[in-house]
Amino acid sequence: MATILRTDQENPAEDEVREGARVIREGGLVVFPTETVYGLGANAFSEEACRKIFKAKERPADNPLIVHISSLDRLNEVAENVPHDLIGKLEKVWPGPVTLLFHKGSLIPDLVTGGSSLVAVRIPANKLALRLIELAGVPIAAPSANVSTRPSITDSRYAISELEGRVDLIFDSGPTSRGLESTIIDVSGKTPVLLRAGSKPVEELKEIFGDIEVTDFARGMLESSIPLAPGMKYRHYSPNKKLFLASSLELLHIVAGNDSLKGRVVIMGSDELCASSSLACIKLGPEGDHHQAGRRLFSALRELEQLPEPVGVIMPFSEAGTGLAIMNRIRKASTAAFSSLEELQKLIF
Ligand code: TXA
Ligand code: MG
Nearest ligand atom owner, CA of 236: 2
Cα distances (Å, whole numbers) of residue 206 to 107, 116, 185, 188, 209: 31, 26, 11, 16, 5
Ligand 1 in reach of 101 Cβ (< 6 A) = yes
Residue nearest to atom 31 of ligand 1 (CA): 229
Ligand 1 in reach of 335 Cβ (< 6 A) = no
Residue in 99, 122, 185, 196 to alter for ligand 1 test, most ligand atoms within 8 A of Cβ: 99
Cα distances (Å, whole numbers) of residue 40 to 17, 49, 211, 346: 15, 11, 32, 40
Ligand 1: centre distance to CA 64 (Å)? 7
Ligand 1 in reach of 153 Cβ (< 6 A) = no
Ligand 1 in reach of 36 Cβ (< 6 A) = yes
Nearest ligand atom owner, CA of 187: 1
Report pLDDT for 157.
98
Verdict on whether the full-model pTM lies above 0.85: yes
**Whether the Cβ atoms of residue 7 and residue 171 lie closer than 8 Å to each other:** yes
- The DSSP annotation for 290-309 comes to HHHHHHHHHHHHHHHHHSS-
* Contacts of 12 by beta carbon, 8 Å cutoff, 6+ apart: 127, 128, 131, 173
* Contacts of 99 by beta carbon, 8 Å cutoff, 6+ apart: 66, 120, 121, 122, 182, 183, 184, 185, 196, 198
* Contacts of 76 by beta carbon, 8 Å cutoff, 6+ apart: 82, 105
Ligand 1 in reach of 105 Cβ (< 6 A) = no
Mean pLDDT by groups of 10 residues along the chain of 349 residues: 97 98 98 98 98 97 96 97 94 98 97 96 98 98 96 98 98 98 93 94 96 79 51 74 96 97 98 98 97 98 97 96 95 93 94
Ligand 1 in reach of 112 Cβ (< 6 A) = no
219 residue type, one letter = R
Residue 155: beta bridge partners? 175
Ligand 1: centre distance to CA 260 (Å)? 42
Q: How far apart are CA 158 and CA 135, in angstroms?
A: 26
Report pLDDT for 216.
73
Nearest ligand atom owner, CA of 147: 2
Taking Cα atoms as reference points, which of 103, 290, 289, 267 lies closest to residue 200?
Answer: 290
Q: Helix, strand, coil shares of the chain as percentages rounded to 5?
A: 35, 20, 45
DSSP secondary-structure letter at 325? Answer: H
Report pLDDT for 231.
65
C-alpha dihedral (324, 87, 99, 69), degrees to nearest 10: -150
